[in-house]
Amino acid sequence: MARVCSNPVSFHRLRPPFNTTVPQPSLLIKASIHYRLKARRFPTIIACQTTPNPAESETEKAVVNVESNSVSDSDVSSTQKSADAGFIEFPNKEINRGIAVASTLAALGLFLFTRLDFGVSLKDLSAAALPYEQALTNGKPTVLEFYADWCEVCRELAPDVYRVEQQYKDRVNFVMLNVDNTKWEQELDEFGVEGIPHFAFLDREGNEEGNVVGRLPRQYLLENVDALAHGKASIPHARIVGQYSSAENRKVHQVVDPRSHG
């Protein structure tokens, strides 16, 4: 509460208003005494209490402290919530390890699925291939592949060859000759096979249009076969060499069946 203080001196200096008639001296003395008594009594009546009610003050302080404490607690809790909301709780190490392993396995599975066809091997391609003699006489263009079972690049490209073969097998012959078979010594010299896999592209008359050797994109094989299937005068990739296995490492064996192309 505001403290109001009076100035008795200022009230003491006030003079009563003058009358038109001059009062008697005795009346002036009485009035002055009466005025002084009133001036002395007036500050006591209107002065505020210098010390407020102790109980009331303590109550107000308690209310203020409770409100400040509640505000502080709410501020701390809201600040903590906002701080917690700013950070993301990461999973523990075991979960992270599991996610990493699952992602690796998924990526490996996707790579193997897109790059390798399980169940397709060189042996399967060789068994499904057309005999060389028949390919030269049926009037279709031919893709002639020289390979070996120990050739890593040959095994790697087997799925690509299989896909292209499935797409063009009705219009193009696919023949596979194993370089380990002594039966194909003449063809090795004729087509100049030094590295495998060696793909020779023959037109309908059996004339070589070109060849590609080693690991190359499947698109190269696909475009060459497509050119043969449409009877074009040349193939787009006629002399290209990639990473290959040397034909000098071949394991020569005797032919069991003269009709075998393996």
Query: Of the listed 151, 172, 200, 213, which one is catalytic?
Result: 151
Query: Of the listed 130, 154, 172, 235, which one is catalytic?
Result: 154
- ∠ CA(124), CA(126), CA(127), 5° rounding? 65
Query: What distance in Å separates the CA atoms of residue 142 and residue 204, rounded to the nearest whole number?
Result: 7
SS3 195: strand
Assigned token pair, 109: 């599975």
Q: Single out the residue of 230, 212, 210 nearest to residue 161, CA to CA.
A: 212
Active site residue 154: yes
Active site residue 48: no
Q: Is residue 179 a contact partner of residue 250, using CB atoms and an 8 Å limit?
A: yes
Contacts (Cβ under 8 Å, ≥6 apart) of 177:
132, 144, 145, 146, 147, 184, 187, 261
Assigned token pair, 195: 């590295």
Q: Which residues are catalytic?
A: 151, 154
